[in-house]
Amino acid sequence: MNIEVPALGESITEAVISSWLVAEGEWVNDGDEIVELETDKVTMPLPSPGSGVLKHGAEEGDTVEVGATIGELDESAEKPAGAPAGAATSSNEPASQAAGPASPPPPAPPSAPTTTAEPPPPPAQPASTEPAHATPLASKLASELNVPLDALRGTGPGGRIREQDVLAASQSGGTPLAPTNGHAPAPSTNGHAARSVRTERMSQLRQRIAVRLVEAQHTAAMLTTFNECDMTNVMALRSKFKDRFVETHGVKLGFMSFFVKAVVAGLRAVPAVGAQLVDGEKGPELAYHEYADIAVAVGTEKGLVVPVLRNAERLAFHEIEAGILELAKKARDGKLTLDDMSGGTFTISNGGVYGSMLSTPILNPPQSGILGMHNIIKRPIEHPGKPGEIALRPMMYLALSYDHRIVDGEGAVTFLKTIKEHIEDPERLLLEV
């Protein structure tokens, strides 16, 4: 039986083999996770389509297209006696043991005369070069980052240690990084720090992100317009009700729910910002959406991912906050599904959480608009209620990047102005006016 790359979701035509979770020659049961496929959107395990002995048809790091054969299952092979039901055998067993029946135990040696001397100690076991239950990629990465595998708890099937487990351990303040060539930097002889260089493999996810971002710049007439909004009223409203909000809904009240609501209002005022260019029978067509699936950019250890909050136009503030919190947790735990990542109509990116003052966000194809939020800084402006008087107010710069093929400058400015007006007067969000 062939093992093929399944359909991976909207607009995804290829994937990268991140790691084989089962070694070649091992027995796998129907439904066992056998390989991890990495796309520009998500890393997903592929279950075995049947039971048998696994044969790899592609190497880790290979790029494979949807529908390609990446391995085979020998369904005629006899299941080994030691193979557990519903889980693959341990990766540290030799292929010969996994592929056939267990060998009978050797015959007992002839009895020796009784002696009072203690038996000799058992011979020392040689150190394993790849600890049990660790994928080859995890082992390689652990060696590069100087992370001891025996101290990790794997999140893969059967407790297997995967790449994200090693990355999480490294980021949590574990053992300091070591040079990837396996040699410690030479000690400094002049009292200054050694001028060492550390190289690190660029992940396939990061490579895919790079390709897509460059593609977005080459295929869209991308332009950015800016505005600023006074955060005084939103901050006061949030401060007034944040404790009661948590008590009532069990989730914190953040700024993102206000901006999601404001984006929905902007899309209602200027639908073209949420439209997408598609191929029609007689030429290009514009697809307008009667719903708002808002993608929210989340930074993870492996790169930026953009999970989607469905039907944001129907959600209350607490549902938006809970939805974003759940998506962010799944993203950082590496548990996002393709459905979580597909079909967004507009994207929000909050660079302000990292201290960004201003940026020009890049479109997330095939979307036509993305809003960039930034940090909040008190700046002197004219007091909104006292013309001619200067006041310090908490201000945020907003940036809207848009596809000028679909959205005119007037529409883009109107969209961003609508967001500004709803943030500065949050009562409008509640009344939808």
Residues 6+ apart with CB under 8 A from 146: 175, 176, 177, 178
Among residues 150, 293, 404, 425, the one annotated as catalytic is 404
Residue 397 DSSP class: E
Q: Does the active-site annotation cover 408?
A: yes
Cα–Cα distance measured from residue 376 to residue 373, given in angstroms and rounded to the nearest whole number = 9
14-20 vs 276-280, strand pairing mode: unpaired
Cα–Cα distance measured from residue 116 to residue 308, given in angstroms and rounded to the nearest whole number = 73
Whether the CB-CB separation of 52 and 221 falls below 8 Å is answered with: no
Q: Indicate the length of the chain as a whole number.
A: 433
Cα–Cα distance measured from residue 83 to residue 97, given in angstroms and rounded to the nearest whole number = 10
Q: Which helix (H) or strand (E) holds 246?
A: helix 232-249
79 exposure class (CB count in 10 Å sphere: 0-12, 13-18, 19+):
middle
Q: Look at residues 141, 207, 132 and name the one whose alpha carbon lies nearest to residue 174.
A: 141
Whether the CB-CB separation of 24 and 52 falls below 8 Å is answered with: no
Cα–Cα distance measured from residue 295 to residue 366, given in angstroms and rounded to the nearest whole number = 12
Q: Does the active-site annotation cover 404?
A: yes
Among residues 62, 408, 422, 425, the one annotated as catalytic is 408
Residues 6+ apart with CB under 8 A from 188: 194
Q: Which helix (H) or strand (E) holds 119?
A: none
Q: Look at residues 6, 75, 1 and name the one whose alpha carbon lies nearest to residue 45.
A: 6
Cα–Cα distance measured from residue 275 to residue 412, given in angstroms and rounded to the nearest whole number = 13
Cα–Cα distance measured from residue 313 to residue 327, given in angstroms and rounded to the nearest whole number = 17
Coil, strand, or helix at residue 418? Answer: helix
Whether the CB-CB separation of 263 and 416 falls below 8 Å is answered with: no
User: What DSSP line would sit under 94-114, residue for residue?
Assistant: -HHHHHSPPPPPPPPPPPPPP
Tell me the β-bridge partners of 134: 161
Phi, psi dihedrals of residue 65, rounded to the nearest 5°: -90, 160
Which residue numbers are catalytic? 404, 408
